[in-house]
Amino acid sequence: MAGELAVQVLFWLAVVKLLQLGTWPALDRTLGNLAAAAAYPASVLLFTLGSWYCGLLGLPVWLALLPFLAAIALAGARGFYGRERLRPALTWDLAFLIPFLFMLEVRWINPTISYAEKFMDHAILASIMRQPIVPPLDPWYAGGTLDVYYYLGYWMSGVLGLTAGVPSTVTFNLVLPTVLGLAVVSLYALGHLLLDRHRWLPVLALFIPNPSAIYHIIIGDSWFDVLWGSTRTITNTINEYPIFSMLWGDVHPHVMSFFNQGFLLFLLVFAYLRWGTLSMRGRVLLCGLAALSLGSMPGFNSWDVLVYAPVTLVFGLLVWRRYGSLTWDRAKSWMVLAVVPPLAILTYLPFYLQLNSPGIEGIEIVPTPSAPVEFLLVHGLFLAVLLAYCAPEIRKRPYLLLAAVPLLLAGYPAAAIAAVPLVYLVVRRRFSATDTLAILGLAIILVTEIIYLVDNMGETYFRMNTLFKFYLPAWFLMGTASLSIIGKWLQGAGIEDRIPAGIRKGLPILVVALLLIAPSAINIDFGYGSRTLDGAAYLEGSHPGDAAAIAFLRDLPGDHIIIEAEGGDYTYYSRVSSFSGIPAVIGMPFHEYMWRGDEGRIGQRSADVRAIYEQPSRTTDLARAYNATLLYVGASERDRYTISIPTETLELIYDREGVQIYRIPA
């Protein structure tokens, strides 16, 4: 088994590297020494886009691999992959591989698809890998499709798994290592733009915890409480940070989008700093990449585009402001503004037209803003750096501190805290890349103290999604800015020059060793550890009957709809559809209600499933009403319902270890 898993990991890495090699030559003339880095995230986005259109057109998704193979053949024939290019590019290969291995070890320790959002994440992934069509089938709502949800990250993961020949339960545990590796490459490349030395510092935004985690460590909380408590710091909200999301292990949209956020920031900063040196071809290519990244965001995690569309416009204005003063270059300087947004829309226009999500219900004023202490426990580290950065300006113009007074008087003290560095950064009008990233991040945490987006989370958790989904982009923006500022301070202090050469050379090796040792040194299995990469392996010990039956269903050919017990959200129920990818009549009901609202008649489906199991006179007719082909009876169904089904009219196709599967006659 271990050997088989190792082969699957190698095949997965081979596909990722193949995609990178196929994209790299097209970027080389424009991005220069950063082309090999940008080719990692760019290639995955391009493959996702190409395979998605294959699915839309009813073509095999593996056809999307052909352009990359052709590009490799053409570039290889021209001698592109020479030693003089490949050797320097090893830096970027290691920048991807080391965090990949770190997260691979984390997932090996804690691989189970068993808690939080993991059942949902794997259900969508398995559905896509079972039938890679567009829009994908909804595994928890028979007859429905996932046009109600932003599923593109799952599509990306699924087609990589299909191409590499990796089953969905292992693909599940290769996604986050890949996302982290791509994110590290993107932020390390961003560091090459922002810093002359210490270019690795922006990468730390992915690994450092918030101050709340430090507080929970100091007061002696358990490791689990440190992680969980630090992400529930602001009352009735979620405030995750990247390393928590990675360790927690949900293959969820907000996590899968990490690499794309870092990639877009890299592209925008590159445009801002180097637009004047680019040829027209290079500018078109850069705009195309930015459009690819921005256009993918609604499909990965639609909340991200609410942040990054304005971020793109801000950087577009800065490019025009910086490079549009020359008459001959004025029109070209508008390209980021004029080309990227419409091209981003056109790139995935069919996706947007298909999307049928209930969306946001409005914008409201926050009635109970964050407590200042809680706010600082989330953002305090970056705010401290930015305030120190603004200290000379504060001493020079202390009267600008009065800008925070209206917010204090209005009852928004946390917003007032964020307003102080924001005002000083805006007023001094430098608008360097670092300053701009900081301004944008501060603006997000200030605005979300005053307004929130209305959804159907109820009165208690009215801000939960707003802070959850906006704080992560704010973390990327403020984090990369703050860590770049620290890098400039270190560079100015000349600290690196005081360290003996031997220690300087050995330090990276030590850091890498500690990174790879850390997952085994700390408790990250949360009680679910299995020491494998197969997220379903634990079923063989805890639910052997289901394990064997699900294995049977995963190999069962044909298009099916299954009936299984519905037992609410975040429970073991819905496990058959989740692990097999076969759509159930109804899965976790609140998830479906979030996606479909009252029109989904979720309660009726739950009642019908109960009737199918408990009212034999209605079983067949109700099952046929949902076009169901299979009826599953296992321990969970017997616990949930008083089973009474017309076995004489159903065809028994599986009967082992307490599980029966019946075929419903057409």
Q: Is the pLDDT of residue 359 over 80?
A: no
Predicted confidence at residue 501, as pLDDT, reads 66
Written as six digits, the tokens of 64 are 């999307």
Name the more confident of 510 and 561. 561
Of the pLDDT bands very low, low, confident and very high (cuts 50, 70, 90), residue 666 is confident
Predicted confidence at residue 56, as pLDDT, reads 97
Q: What is the mean pLDDT of residues 381-390?
A: 97
Predicted confidence at residue 237, as pLDDT, reads 94
- Reported as a single tens digit per residue, the pLDDT across 332-342 is 788 899 999 99
In this structure, are residues 523 and 97 in contact, taking their beta carbons and an 8 Å threshold?
Answer: no
Reduce the secondary structure of 332-387 to three states and give it as a string: HHCHHHHHHHHHHHHHCHHHHHHCCCCCCCEEEECCCCCCHHHHHHHHHHHHHHHH
Of the candidates 84, 238, 97, the residue with the CA atom closest to the CA atom of residue 181? 97
Domain locations in the chain as residue ranges: 1-136+145-204, 363-498, 539-663
Q: What is the mean pLDDT of residues 633-657?
A: 95
Predicted confidence at residue 649, as pLDDT, reads 93
Please state, as a whole number, how many other Cβ atoms lie within 10 Å of the Cβ of residue 309: 16
In this structure, are residues 168 and 161 in contact, taking their beta carbons and an 8 Å threshold?
Answer: yes
- Reported as a single tens digit per residue, the pLDDT across 223-281 is 888 989 999 999 999 999 999 999 999 999 999 999 999 999 999 999 999 998 999 99
Written as six digits, the tokens of 345 are 């829309």
Residue with tokens 């593996």: 62
Of the pLDDT bands very low, low, confident and very high (cuts 50, 70, 90), residue 326 is low
Of the candidates 449, 393, 447, 448, the residue with the CA atom closest to the CA atom of residue 425? 393
Task: Give the orientation angle of helix 258-274 with respect to helix 280-323, to 10 degrees.
Answer: 70
Q: Is the pLDDT of residue 330 over 60?
A: no
DSSP 45-92: HHHHHHHHHHHHTT--GGGGGHHHHHHHHHHHHTT-S-HHHHHHHHHH
Instruction: Report d(CA 486, CA 329) in Å as an integer.
Output: 35
Instruction: Report d(CA 144, CA 585) in Å as an integer.
Output: 10
In this structure, are residues 265 and 165 in contact, taking their beta carbons and an 8 Å threshold?
Answer: no
Q: Give the contacts of 370 (CB within 8 A, at least 6 positions apart).
A: 234, 235, 414, 449
Of the pLDDT bands very low, low, confident and very high (cuts 50, 70, 90), residue 491 is confident
Written as six digits, the tokens of 442 are 């501060």
In this structure, are residues 523 and 591 in contact, taking their beta carbons and an 8 Å threshold?
Answer: no
- Reported as a single tens digit per residue, the pLDDT across 169-209 is 999 999 999 999 999 999 999 999 999 988 999 999 999 99
Instruction: Report d(CA 67, CA 48) in Å as an integer.
Output: 13
- Reported as a single tens digit per residue, the pLDDT across 96-127 is 999 999 999 999 999 999 988 999 999 999 99
**C-alpha distance from residue 74 to each of 67, 69, 70, 71, 270 (Å):** 10, 9, 6, 5, 27
Instruction: Report d(CA 387, CA 420) in Å as an integer.
Output: 8
Q: What is the mean pLDDT of residues 601-617?
A: 96
pTM, entire model: 0.95
Please give the mean pLDDT across all residues of the chain.
93
> Under the phi-then-psi rule, with left for phi > 0, alpha for psi from -120 to 50, and beta for the rest, what region is 631?
beta
Phi, psi of 661 (to 5 degrees): -120, 125
